[in-house]
Structure 1
């Protein structure tokens, strides 16, 4: 498989006008994707790819799922936008969310993107925080979006401007690269005790914003004991727990929320990406008392241009009803175990594969120059990514980590085929 004339011509046509700064995947891959069906993408020259990135970890049901297409098409012929006024499908969507989410998360606000819903969660925290609680905790390596509030959470500065704001950073559970130089199990989960001490037990902290599984950082899965310490301390000290499940919410890890797997009961949850099978849509779920607090529920507090738009509601309702009806959470858990086994075999086989980690259908492969030094190798990860594309497999590239997130609807045979293509890509990249 190779890139051919139509794609090259298309990319040359774009280059004079398109701003740079695309994702690594687009910059390295240089593909023009024209069509998607289920787990398969087709480019402009007719080459096909198994999509183990599921769009951008968004296509829970695969590309152009017929029931989602039907729901969107029908809605597109009726009504697109009336601000946040009620429309016929909204009540049904809220009922579906109430069935799928933990019982205490019974109130919802609808938005359009992940960053927008994170910003909405921050407004709720800030509006309801008692006097003196003017700090918000977050975790190092976290990613919550590119808007100002989301960037301030993780001290993400741009240019010469520093806007750390009122955020306090704690240690993420990145065991493979422990910032404290410790090893499990003798570490006593020291990273968690420091988060507890400096964030969860501080009387001036209003909330801790966290990803249950740190996605953009490379699928960092917390070890046992990490969240048990932190969540207990947060509860005892009145610190709200705000789960950023923009990536994991909707079943990606085998439960509807990844928080359920790690034993945390968040007060607020931000969800987007796969909730509407890749159509722009987001939900802030929370406790009734928080989202109904008069300070947080002032006129317009949960409104925006595309909030509650009928197209997003139609796509989300169709997606979630398929997930529920077809018991796809059970399938994600089952296939996740198989995928973990297959990737574990690759880890044993390839010395440059430093660590494999994940849950359900969300996995990260960390590439290194050698296992002794654990030196990150983004060049090798890029080479594997490019080789995989040439072989007919698309994954997600970020630095020295490749992420895998196949659609929930994939079957075992295609899962094995994809892992086989990945093995060939690693062979080629290592030998080059």
Structure 2
């Protein structure tokens, strides 16, 4: 990776217990001002961030292994992104692309068309959030096919809007008491190698396809939507062959194959998009998170015949493809390319996975270590079993935070520690974070 000049010292430093007094004061203000339904993973408040560190309001420097849930891949204050945002904001912050369009939107679409896998002609539409991208991908598929049924998978997470909640598998906290949900959504079994002993990718795909054919019929299915590596569901990496077999069936039956790359996209897994690992070129890809260096932007890119089939005005939104967010995206993509962040993600995985696997060999509370590139996870279980242990998982995350490392939890069973470091994190800082995490697991397991 090209040498990076960081703005903040890239080191873990604690000057108070966590949360510190200023974070506690802000939390007290929050209770009187912010709706209780909004949760936060950690009780400290950020004041600055750069590279692989977050500086809190009390002066503590924490190592960031979350990247704002895979958003700040180029860092939370990449100089190129910050400069692009300032320049564009000084010119105009909004005109609405549907009213007075601007070149930045077109330039982002051109870049995404070129980056997305497949040699087919492509078109792109820009939105604000991952959930919006998913909703619009489903709209495109239903219009193009004239069918209604949409297939999602066990452990899936696709968003918090009504349709995306229907697609999401986990009830608490995402769906509980928020129904009824959008109809014509059907759930099929996912390939989950750790909990699918002896079921390879081809067999797992056949299982899902058999259920689709028996329960729905191929001619009723508008779309299959799947995360190439599941995110909130537990960083589940399907067995090799699972995704290609699903895509082959979809193509043979006129079903739109949608890859939800909101969390896996933009170099996170060691390629620009996770589906490229097995040579899968989806009909439509949904994107967000890492796309714009932290600015709100999302997109769908797909086959030209699908997206051009939609009538004018059928896609869009007031803020979709905001000019400041587009400027940030172009800058972030330049940084990803210049620093070769796909290669950096692979290097992060090569550095972290051997340590995590060695820890798993030492402790019987680690049921599985998995992931690709800089999207890594350890699944925690009760000793000597495969029974999920969410209490241990919470304890590990708390102990890591107390020592100055931010990690996130996830999984259908709440028993997965996920690692999503900024792709610009340095080796020394990453090594320190892994040492803290190892100690946290050992201490919590004792």
State TM-score, norm by structure 2: 0.89
Residue number in structure 2 paired with 1:135: 149
- Number of paired residues? 417
For residue 383 of structure 1, the aligned residue among 385, 392, 395 is: 395
CA positional deviation for 1:430: 2.1
Residue number in structure 1 paired with 2:422: 407
Alignment of 1:395 with 2:411, yes or no, is no
Alignment of 1:226 with 2:242, yes or no, is yes
1:49-68 map, 5 Å: 49-68=62-81
CA positional deviation for 1:119: 0.7
Residue number in structure 2 paired with 1:272: 288
Residue number in structure 1 paired with 2:186: 168
**Distance in 2 of aligned mates of 1:324 and 1:18:** 39
Asked if the contact 2:163–2:182 (Cα under 8 Å) also holds between the matched residues in 1, the reply is no
> Closer, same or farther in 2 for the Cα pair 1:93/1:229, shift >3 Å?
closer
Tell me whether 190-199 or 206-215 shows the greater mean CA deviation. 190-199
State TM-score, norm by structure 1: 0.92
Residue number in structure 1 paired with 2:357: 344
Residue number in structure 1 paired with 2:105: 90
Alignment of 1:211 with 2:223, yes or no, is no
The alignment partner of 1:358 has SS state of strand
For residue 6 of structure 1, the aligned residue among 22, 27, 33 is: 22
Residue number in structure 1 paired with 2:44: 31
Residue number in structure 2 paired with 1:368: 381
1:309-328 map, 5 Å: 309-328=322-341
1:178-327 map, 5 Å: 178=196, 183-184=197-198, 189-199=202-212, 202-293=218-309, 296=310, 298-327=311-340
Unaligned runs of 5+ in 1: none
Asked if the contact 1:212–1:262 (Cα under 8 Å) also holds between the matched residues in 2, the reply is no
- Measured against aligned partners, the alpha-carbon deviations of 1:31-90 in whole angstroms (never above 9, x if no partner) come to 111110111001111111110101221101111011111111111111111111322323
The alignment partner of 1:49 has SS state of strand
**Distance in 2 of aligned mates of 1:13 and 1:55:** 22
**Distance in 2 of aligned mates of 1:158 and 1:73:** 41
Asked if the contact 1:105–1:285 (Cα under 8 Å) also holds between the matched residues in 2, the reply is no
Alignment of 1:152 with 2:166, yes or no, is yes
**Distance in 2 of aligned mates of 1:262 and 1:33:** 38
Unaligned runs of 5+ in 2: 1-13
The alignment partner of 1:15 has SS state of helix
CA positional deviation for 1:30: 1.2
CA positional deviation for 1:188: 7.0
**Distance in 2 of aligned mates of 1:226 and 1:95:** 30
Tell me whether 267-276 or 223-232 shows the greater mean CA deviation. 223-232
Asked if the contact 2:191–2:201 (Cα under 8 Å) also holds between the matched residues in 1, the reply is no
CA positional deviation for 1:177: 2.4
Tell me whether 350-359 or 227-236 shows the greater mean CA deviation. 227-236
**Distance in 2 of aligned mates of 1:205 and 1:83:** 34
CA positional deviation for 1:164: 5.8
Asked if the contact 1:196–1:229 (Cα under 8 Å) also holds between the matched residues in 2, the reply is no
Tell me whether 16-25 or 248-257 shows the greater mean CA deviation. 16-25
**Distance in 2 of aligned mates of 1:259 and 1:230:** 12
The alignment partner of 1:142 has SS state of coil
Residue number in structure 1 paired with 2:445: 430
CA positional deviation for 1:358: 0.2
**Distance in 2 of aligned mates of 1:128 and 1:212:** 23
> Closer, same or farther in 2 for the Cα pair 1:24/1:74, shift >3 Å?
closer
The alignment partner of 2:218 has SS state of coil
- Measured against aligned partners, the alpha-carbon deviations of 1:314-365 in whole angstroms (never above 9, x if no partner) come to 1100000111122221221222222222221221122211111101100111
Asked if the contact 1:96–1:321 (Cα under 8 Å) also holds between the matched residues in 2, the reply is no
CA positional deviation for 1:105: 5.9
The alignment partner of 2:263 has SS state of coil
